[in-house]
Amino acid sequence: LASEQGTIAIIGAGSWGTALSIALGSAGRRVAVWARRGELATAIGRGRRNPEYLSKYELPPTVRATGDLRDAVTGAAFVILAVPSHGMRAVCRQMVPHLSDRQAVVSGAKGLEHDSGKRMSEVILECFASRPRRAVAVLSGPNLAPEVAAGAATATVVASEDGEFAAEAQAALGTERLRVYTNADVLGVELGGVLKNVIAIGAGVSDGLRFGDNSKAALMTRGLAEMTRFGVAMGARPETFGGLSGIGDLVATCAGRQSRNHMVGFELAKGRSLDDVLSDMSPQVAEGVETTRAVVRRAASLGVEMPISEAVHAILFEGIPAADAVTSLMTRAGRDELED
Amino acid sequence: LASEQGTIAIIGAGSWGTALSIALGSAGRRVAVWARRGELATAIGRGRRNPEYLSKYELPPTVRATGDLRDAVTGAAFVILAVPSHGMRAVCRQMVPHLSDRQAVVSGAKGLEHDSGKRMSEVILECFASRPRRAVAVLSGPNLAPEVAAGAATATVVASEDGEFAAEAQAALGTERLRVYTNADVLGVELGGVLKNVIAIGAGVSDGLRFGDNSKAALMTRGLAEMTRFGVAMGARPETFGGLSGIGDLVATCAGRQSRNHMVGFELAKGRSLDDVLSDMSPQVAEGVETTRAVVRRAASLGVEMPISEAVHAILFEGIPAADAVTSLMTRAGRDELED
């Protein structure tokens, strides 16, 4: 495949961009990873590690770092966007003059645009107006970055409406350790990665309150149900939420040991303030916080019931104590399981 | 409700029977818990704790223990069978002369009969031949016994084809801390509790091999898909596997800290023999071991693909090293997610 010959550009040198660079580079792919700050790119190039993220892993020799966006994308068959969602539109605008429509763009971000509530693939398509809709793919799944960097066996999904493009991306990005599945339901795959962060904050609250595995399992079950309701109301396929980018990512994120979103809930349950938790985490972000705002607003306009997301919203933004919000959720009158 | 007035008989004083006794007794229900060994019943009565299971929790004053089956069931509106599946038929046969058809029977076991592969509700119905099919209910969900005994908020499902009976059971067994949902799909609810134990052994193997949360999440996702395929081929509703007794129980069990089935996989991954692991666990049993045998046999006759259950079977009974079986599973060629 021609696509296997070209470089893969990874835009963003945070933990996900760094992990992907290591995973793809270790499989012999030529990777250019772009860091927004030139000094970070220089430090990576010099030390052969990213000093700020996953610093214990060496970059394979096939990976080079650059602070120049044009340099990063030139000649790349695939451009993977691994930036936080709040930075996506600005980075895409910067890329426009340097990218041809023949270069494939893949979104690896799991959030919504803050004010508009738009999905990342929508933002990308708006920036690259001449690009056909199907030429933007989404990469999502249970892909905790530290494990991907460590070479742990991981499965992920590339979603594109164009089966041929999806198969090309599968060949270009899949390795022995990073198994890539395809899915034509771009909307469902993208929403799974977005919505699970909200439920993961709730799971973190449950764990922070020491509610136990029974409670957390019930919360995740009902969380997946509301993710699916929301997705279906938006036009996604319900089966997608039963797959790697839905339940798979939900399970990996709610396990908790490695998720920033889970950590936010966990710390809030201990009585800390949101500002305090987020400033400790900076410059890293927990995408689920702003996502909760956008999702609850959109759910209201769609008329979709999302009690867990609403409880997370109440904890994050309405000053409701975590224990009260989760307790009222757990004691909510339930009758028939399939009607609730 | 009349059913709320009567005693609840809990047949079996293992960890699940003990936890249920404590949870129901703490909510003021009158409970008679039957222990197969008379000396255990006596010890429970004298010490107000079960010295063998969950011994740190005191029994509420409304719970009494007995070694006499007739004594346990007489006057009970609900009889909950909390015995291991290998003992179910013998206990039911003993109960036949003492039980009227007006007393509700609820199965709380999560296994299959070893030789026949029959579900517990089928075994119960065979024993009580005059009983209408709908008068046997199934109790299943993410209900780790130590947490139920500790009073942690827990959700569970009572399944019966008879909506009125299910609602009665919901009122009789539900408490502030044990939320009972109903579901008419008895087959699906029962199979969820059975099949998840097989996947939990696989998750234990993955954890024992230190494969990480990404791998385990992928295994659980594909595990749920094969549980659902099997269930649907048997006549269950696919939605049931997305509920508390499906994904919910799967998530709680695969978390691992409290599951005997997960422990079996974990220890096998360390290179120990099955006999060794099971004899350490005795007299407690890991239902998933014998279930795996029955499920793989049945899947073959139904023509249902169950690669994870087959891998677990290979590890348990065919002498295949755990690492080989799980690695070949993870590197199995995957293409489109929804077609796989």
Q: What is the pLDDT of residues A280-333, one digit of tens each?
A: 998 888 999 999 999 999 999 999 999 999 999 999 999 999 989 987 887 665
> Tell me, what's the pLDDT at B334?
60
Query: Least CB-CB distance to B243: which of A142, A143, A221?
Result: A221
The sign of the dihedral angle between the CA atoms of B175, B181, B185, B190 is negative
- pLDDT of residue A334 exceeding 70: no
Mean per-residue pLDDT over chain B, rounded? 93
- A257 contacts B152? CB cut-off 8 A: no
- B224 contacts A242? CB cut-off 8 A: yes
| pLDDT-derived band at B135, boundaries 50, 70, 90 | confident
Q: Which residues of A touch B218 (CB under 8 A)?
A: 141-142, 153-155, 179, 244, 248
- B218 contacts A244? CB cut-off 8 A: yes
Instruction: Tell me which residue of A59, A51, A57, A55 sits closest to A30, measured CA to CA.
Output: A59
φ, ψ of residue A268 to 5 degrees: the values are: -65, -35
- B255 contacts A147? CB cut-off 8 A: no
- A240 contacts B154? CB cut-off 8 A: no
The residue of chain B nearest to residue A175, with distances taken between CA atoms, is: B331
The residue of chain A nearest to residue B152, with distances taken between CA atoms, is: A211
Q: Which helix (H) or strand (E) holds B155?
A: strand B154-159
Q: Mind listing the pLDDT tens digit for each residue in A146-201?
A: 999 999 999 999 999 999 999 999 999 999 999 999 999 999 999 999 999 999 99
Interface test with A, best of B199, B239, B251, B332 (most A CBs within 10 A): B251
Q: How far apart are CA A307 and CA B34, in angstroms?
A: 40
| pLDDT-derived band at A129, boundaries 50, 70, 90 | confident
> Tell me, what's the pLDDT at A258?
86
CB atoms inside a 10 Å sphere around CB A39: 9
Give how far the C-alpha of residue B154 lies from the chain's centroid of Cα atoms, to the nearest Å.
15
- pLDDT of residue A4 exceeding 50: no
Q: Which residues of A touch B228 (CB under 8 A)?
A: 242
Q: Check if the beta carbon of residue A154 is closer than 8 Å to that of residue A219.
A: no
Most confident of A226-230, B168-172, B333-337: A226-230
Is B323 in the A-facing interface, judged by CB distances under 8 Å? no
- β-pairing, B136-140 with B154-159? antiparallel
Q: Mind listing the pLDDT tens digit for each residue in B18-72?
A: 999 999 999 999 999 999 999 999 999 999 999 999 999 999 999 999 999 999 9
| pLDDT-derived band at B203, boundaries 50, 70, 90 | very high
Q: Is B56 a catalytic residue?
A: no
Is A255 in the B-facing interface, judged by CB distances under 8 Å? yes
Give how far the C-alpha of residue A154 lies from the chain's centroid of Cα atoms, to the nearest Å.
15
| pLDDT-derived band at A101, boundaries 50, 70, 90 | confident
Q: Which residues of B touch A144 (CB under 8 A)?
A: 212-214
Q: Mind listing the pLDDT tens digit for each residue in A241-270?
A: 999 999 999 999 999 878 999 999 999 999
- A243 contacts B338? CB cut-off 8 A: yes
Q: Which of 81-140 (B) contact A at CB < 8 A?
A: none
Is A339 in the B-facing interface, judged by CB distances under 8 Å? no
The residue of chain A nearest to residue B150, with distances taken between CA atoms, is: A212
Q: How far apart are CA B312 and CA B320, in angstroms?
A: 9
- pLDDT of residue A220 exceeding 50: yes
| pLDDT-derived band at A108, boundaries 50, 70, 90 | very high
Q: How far apart are CA B329 and CA A308, in angstroms?
A: 34
Is B153 in the A-facing interface, judged by CB distances under 8 Å? yes
* Degrees to nearest 5, angle at CA B14 with B13 and B17: 60
Length of chain B: 340
Please give the positions of A annotated as active site.
196
Interface test with B, best of A177, A337, A339 (most B CBs within 10 A): A337
| pLDDT-derived band at A338, boundaries 50, 70, 90 | low
Give the mean model confidence (pLDDT) for residues A79-84.
Answer: 97
* A247 min Cα distance to partner chain B (Å): 6
The residue of chain B nearest to residue A163, with distances taken between CA atoms, is: B336
Is B15 in the A-facing interface, judged by CB distances under 8 Å? no
Q: Check if the beta carbon of residue B159 is closer than 8 Å to that of residue B135.
A: no
Q: Mind listing the pLDDT tens digit for each residue in A223-249?
A: 999 999 999 999 999 999 999 999 999
Q: How far apart are CA A2 and CA A4, in angstroms?
A: 5
Q: Which of 169-208 (A) contact B at CB < 8 A?
A: 170, 176, 179, 181-185
Pick the range with the lowest mean pLDDT from A4-13, A136-145, B199-208.
A4-13
Q: What is the pTM of this model?
A: 0.95
Give the mean model confidence (pLDDT) for residues A44-57.
Answer: 97
- B157 contacts A338? CB cut-off 8 A: no
